[in-house]
């Protein structure tokens, strides 16, 4: 099974970017017609012709995977009941797995959007919030000769912008509008995805660490959501990583977010304040605060800040679990892998307390708590 998912509208600078488990490619109309056999479809399946002209303007996520051939004599799955996976996943699993890597890249580096005015923390601002791409469709094809190619998928044209050509720049032509990646940004993306291809399957395979895959599903959902729904899903990422069913949850989350995203102690008070403001906005939204609901605009600074906190917290957790996993392989614990509550307990300790607890544990009698 081969999947192509057009990415709107990033110019990756090369026709083929190999990212290990998948690639990003730009195809010509002739290549697309050949891949989808549009000539044959025109004769036998006219409703299945792929819009090669529009698709050729996109770079596409390109993934090929093996799947079991469906048997006509096999049982039919009539289970349409809701499940977590069905609710969270909007894409076929191979595409979803690739997007779990791609959405963790800091796409904001490609386009710097003006920050809100310093005159007021709550000033409404124009703009799209933060830099990201969209996947307007997913196309698939199979080498199973008994498979029907399916109906044609609509490929919307990429937005265009004017460009002036000619000796004096007098002639105006309209061309697809892209955000362009530099060579350095493309190298950073390739390096990040290679690292994530190695650690994500290994970490999410641990039974005690399934919360990581939940957080990855939430951040993909947030990336492709619109408006305030982005904020709700980004906060869900933070809660899936750092939240617990305890009193004073806002203070607890704020301290933990500051701990993992603040590089120095001086940065952490400002991060705590910013997260509390963000969480209060989220709470007012879900609790139906009329002041929020009556607003006709969205404070996109909140959307941008929510994305930043969720991405940085998830990246930090992946790096930490990678270290824990490697140390466990070197020196396993008889009681098994640390669970999420263990990880959060250690996170809550400051350096002095952590050192005292380690000293104490090393000196406990084997029969403890029996003395």
Give the model confidence (pLDDT) of 211-265 as tens digits. Answer: 999 999 999 999 999 888 898 999 999 999 999 888 888 999 999 999 999 988 8
pLDDT for res 287: 72
CB 234 within 8 A of CB 306: yes
DSSP state, residue 50: -
Which are the contacts of 11, defined by CB distance < 8 A and separation ≥ 6? 59, 178, 179, 180, 181
Model pLDDT, residue 114: 41
Q: For residue range 297-308, what is the model confidence (pLDDT) as tens digits?
A: 556 778 888 999
- The pLDDT-based confidence of 76 (bands split at 50, 70, 90) is low
Q: What pLDDT is stored for residue 327 in this prediction?
A: 93
User: How many angstroms from the chain centroid is the CA of residue 82?
Assistant: 23
CB 233 within 8 A of CB 219: yes
Mean pLDDT computed over every residue of the chain: 86
Mean pLDDT of 166-186: 83
To which residue do tokens 């006219």 refer? 46
- Taking each helix axis from N to C terminus, what angle separates 249-261 and 340-348, rounded to the nearest 10 degrees? 80
Q: Report whether pLDDT(315) > 90.
A: yes
pLDDT of residue 161: 83
pLDDT for 83 equals 59
Nearest to 99 by CA among 224, 210, 2: 224
Q: Which residues make Cβ contacts (< 8 Å) with residue 124, sequence separation at least 6?
A: 295, 297, 298, 299
Of 25-34, 113-122, 141-150, the poorest mean pLDDT is in: 113-122
Prediction pTM value: 0.86
Q: Which residue has the tokens 């995977």?
A: 65
Confidence of residue 81 (pLDDT cuts 50, 70, 90): low
141 forms beta bridges with 2
Query: Are 294 and 121 in contact, with CB atoms under 8 Å apart?
Result: no
Written as six digits, the tokens of 74 are: 């096999």
Higher pLDDT, 371 or 65: 65
203 and 209 Cβ atoms separated by less than 8 Å: yes
Find out whether 59 and 12 touch, Cβ atoms under 8 Å.
yes
More confident residue, 364 or 100: 100
Report pLDDT for 297.
54
Q: Is the pLDDT of residue 58 over 60?
A: yes
Phi, psi (rounded to 5 degrees) for 93: -55, -45
* pLDDT greater at residue 10 or residue 173: 10
């Amino acid at each position: 099974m081969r999947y192509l998912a057009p990415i709107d509208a990033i110019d990756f600078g090369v026709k083929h970017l190999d990212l290990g488990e998948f690639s990003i490619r730009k195809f010509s109309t002739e290549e697309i017609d050949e891949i989808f056999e549009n000539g044959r479809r025109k004769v036998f399946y006219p409703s299945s012709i792929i819009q090669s002209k529009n698709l050729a303007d996109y770079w596409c996520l390109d993934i090929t995977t093996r799947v079991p051939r469906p048997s006509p004599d096999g049982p039919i799955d009539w289970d349409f009941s809701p499940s977590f996976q069905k609710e969270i996943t909007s894409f076929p699993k191979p595409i979803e797995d690739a997007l779990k890597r791609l959405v963790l890249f800091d796409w904001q580096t490609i386009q710097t959007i003006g920050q809100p005015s310093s005159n007021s923390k709550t000033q409404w601002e124009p703009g799209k919030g933060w830099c990201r791409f969209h996947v307007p469709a997913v196309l698939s094809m199979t080498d199973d000769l008994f498979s029907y190619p399916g109906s044609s998928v609509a490929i919307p044209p990429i937005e265009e912008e004017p460009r002036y050509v000619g000796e004096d720049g007098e002639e105006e032509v309209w061309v697809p509008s892209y955000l362009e990646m530099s060579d350095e940004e493309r190298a950073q993306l390739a390096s990040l995805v290679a690292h994530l291809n190695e650690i994500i399957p290994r970490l999410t395979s641990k039974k005690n660490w399934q919360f990581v895959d939940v957080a990855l599903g939430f951040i993909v959902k947030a990336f492709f959501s619109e408006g305030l729904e982005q904020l709700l899903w980004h906060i869900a990422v933070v809660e899936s990583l750092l939240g617990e069913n305890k009193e004073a949850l806002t203070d607890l989350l704020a301290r933990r977010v500051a701990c993992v995203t603040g590089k120095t102690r001086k940065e952490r008070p400002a991060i705590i304040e910013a997260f509390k403001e963000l969480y209060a906005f989220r709470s007012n939204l879900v609790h139906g605060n009329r002041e929020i609901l009556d607003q006709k605009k969205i404070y996109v600074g909140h959307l941008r800040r929510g994305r930043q906190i969720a991405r940085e917290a998830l990246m930090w957790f992946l790096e930490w679990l990678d270290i824990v996993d490697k140390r466990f392989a070197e020196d396993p614990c008889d009681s098994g892998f640390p669970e999420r509550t263990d990880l959060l307990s250690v996170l809550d300790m400051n350096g002095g307390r952590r050192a005292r607890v380690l000293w104490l544990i090393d000196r406990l009698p084997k029969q403890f708590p029996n003395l």
